[in-house]
Structure 1
Amino acid sequence: MISDVALTIFIIAIAAILSFIIVSLRRGNARLIHKLYFILAAGLMIWLAALIGIRLTDPNNMDMMFIWDSITYLGGPFGTAWMVLISLVFVKGLDHLPGRYLLFLIPPAIVNILVWTNPLHHLIYQVFDIDSSKIVFGPLMFVSGAVSYCYLASAVAIMIRFAVKSSSKLYMRQGFLFAIGALIPLVVNMMATFKIGSLGIEATPLAFTATIILHGFAIFYFHMLDIKPLAMQRVLDRLSDCYLVISDTGLVVNFNWQFQEVFGKKYGIQENTFLQDSVQVEDADTKSTFYNLTSSIETCRETMANISYEQSVFLRQDGELVKKYFMVEITPLLVEENKLGGFLAFFKDVTKVKESMQRLQDSQTKLMEQERLASLGQMVGGIAHNLKTPIMSVSGSMIAVENLVEECQRSLGDPEVTPEDYREIYQEIDEWVNKVREACSYMSEIITAVKGQAVNMSRSETEAFAVSDAMKRVALLLRHELVGSGCKLEIKNSISQDVILQGDINSMVQVVNNLVTNAVDAEKGMGGGVISILLEKTGEEFLIKVKDTGAGVPEDVKKKLFKQMITSKGAMGNGLGIYISNSVIKAKFNGRMWMEDNPEGGAIFGIAIPLQYVSFAEFQKRGDAE
């Protein structure tokens, strides 16, 4: 019979379970796993209430005893089914119970039907009694017990497997606590069925009471039902990126679904196989990918540090071969005492990032081209004027030469014309020819400068050039604009050596042109002035400074210079110049740009290039260019 101690425990357990369910339901927002737990707890309450009924019923009233015993089966067999469902919902993170899971409830439902109809067939009890030593089980009782054992064992196995594979200590503790709670009634049930030891009718429900207590401890201490635990594999499978876990011996331990779709199927990589033996395809793309991965793993093993590299892979999508880019990071997995346990290879898909960068680069190139054309358009008028003067000089020189030639022809045979007279005519012709040569040289320099600026920016050539040549082109291209604005350009080299840069001279000319043009605009409002280009050297950098004495740069514009397209010229400017110039200096000369106030008034815009990209050469020192 049920002892007084057991009766007291049953009453306390029912009160505690009922209070817990009421409090939890009042909180609301019950998830699926909450509801299943409440059903399990309610089944245990029914079971315990039936046992209390057995305790309070006359032992000789076997009909009533049989009814109470039959009621207990609403808690026992169904309880094991609910435990399996709870474990599956917990591990898989389900919000809705799939219909197929309800099949787990069919065996306990059949058992309950057989129990209630036992007097008709005696398949559950051949002899029924409250004293377990007098009970004779029918053939289906062992089948019913086997099903319950399978359910309990499955619940234990599911939770232990989840706990072992989980990388979260929280989930690991939750899983083991749940498994222990399911293991207790499994052991007690087996002992009762096979009559191991002297166990009363209260033994099994007491074991389930321990289960409810352990699960309740998990709820309040580990917040198992408050966190909505998700299976780690499910979370990782939803990642858009790939991961691969490899042991220190090269055994493929685990990977997510995304890795399987991108690399696993293509290269034949499978779990529990060595990476070296997994790769089946021998094309060049596969060899490159596999070599990079294995060599990076070995480097990671030797250095015990993270290794990163970029990997391109050709994948077939919608029947077409598509090139994908991945940023791969190999991380060593350290266990106790910093011992190497394996490696985590994480494949971050950066294809869209690469495409965005390419679009950004294309847009920037287009902006640079627009700025170049705009700058060239502004210089056309001045260039035409610059060419007009030497052309007129050539024309005048040719007229003078023609007159001298005619004079020589008329003097032929004239006895009054002496050889000395002819020498004088030849000398004058030579002087006019020199003037033509100088004018042609000047025009050639202008044409060279203009031709350089007319070249598409995307076709710029990288070669060594002298900064003095670049400054000479600037002076030629902006001569008319400087004269028209009443400004004077001074180029001062304080280094006493010619500076040689590696890059595109046309790009440097465009940048300095832009800075000087801005300085001219600033000086216009002041009635003109002197604009200085200063060539200097510090301990680490070569500097090109463009200094003016204009109105300066407003404070609100200073904060945004070089960071975005902004202008202080109002409708007369678009803000492209400085922004693009800074990009050109960074990309093509590994340098930087800055701006500071001129102590004498105005502004100083500077270009700084590290000395490691600069060389110096001796040259014949020339005066300042104007």
Structure 2
Amino acid sequence: MMLEPILKSMHILLVDDNPNNLKVLSQAIQGCGWKILMATDGESAIEQAEYCDPNLILLDVMMPGIDGFEICRRLKANFITKNIPVIFMTALADATDKVKGLEIGAVDYITKPFQKEELIARLKLHLNISHLTHTLEQRVEERTIELTQSLQKLQNTQLQLIQSEKMSTLGQLVAGIGHEINNPIGFISGSCSHIEEYMNDLLRLVNLQQQKLPHPDPEIEELIEEIDLDYLAKDLPKLMESMHQGIDRLKDISLSLRTFARSDILSLVEFQIHEGIDSTLMLLKHRLKDQGDRPTIEVIKKYGMLPLVTCYPGQLNQVFMNLIANAIDALDESNTDRSFEEIKSHPNRITITTSLKELNVEVKIADNGIGMSESVKQKIFDHLFTTKSVGKGTGLGLAIARQIIVEKHGGSIECNSSTEQGTEFVILIPVRQ
């Protein structure tokens, strides 16, 4: 009963080469409230079906030119009309013709001469079925969209939880390491200053003794020769200089750890993007240097003049870490069949370019590795997608990177790549949130 108002708004296409038959059919069903469309040949029927999209087609089998079977085949082969139900009308009693019609897509048969009540009942039945099928398809489509949206929200929430947990854990770990490193660095640095002072005093004393006592005891001369005093006096300052350089390196690493691990998750702060990139490169220096089977990966920095950016520094550093580490992986993969000398003649390079684009900071991280195919490029930001072997990639890095840039900072991240042409990631971050 609830379908009656809906059925009255439906369109039925009547197809028969005999105008009298069309008149009889339309008179038989005119009281049902359906809108009647008519066609007297196959081409006209197909054209009207495409243009008017009727809810049902009542189709005569025996027609000159294109018969009903061929019309039905064409309707079912057409993307626009394939789902319109077709009922054949025929005076034939041969069962094989009915089977043939059903096999090519018809939903029912009405035999001439027809009974008005039977005709209307069959039309109502198939209009009901068509409407319910269409409604069900709509509901399935709507439900699919809802489930897709729910899955996307779930994945985003999962990424946020993973990213927050990683940043929290990483921040605590790195901050702790940085603090632990600082104490011995301070002690060693202070001790080295005293050692250098004591060393210089002792060397002055030895020089003075040599000047005042030009003919020392033979036992002393023997010891001087044994320890090679001249070499020792020249090498000790060099050793102290190396120790100072090592201490400075440790201080840089400690500073990089603290810069990288800044986990200002709850509040936005002003941050110099170059500091984040430099701290990331410092922490990845061990992967960039000569590995024995390949030369050092060259890092070319093309820094522009950037203002301070309002952002979450720890999260941006995580993005830089992921992109640069991925670039190193891609370069190592491209070296599989290349010798040390071949790589040296065509060096591995990572180029980092920064610039100010109106109200956005642009960061480009490019490598000259193997690149990626178009199909892979379309999926790289997908949740859990990875091209790395088991145990080497989670498929979360770039998904989290996109979430940090797009959702957390209102920016954008794009990938430009093609096979054997390297890969470039382009990040845009608003200067002010």
TM range, smaller chain: 0.3 to 0.5
Q: Bigger relative contact order, structure 1 or 2, given CA contacts below 8 A and separation 6+?
A: 2
What is the TM-score normalised by the length of structure 2?
0.45
What is the TM-score normalised by the length of structure 1?
0.33
Larger radius of gyration: 1
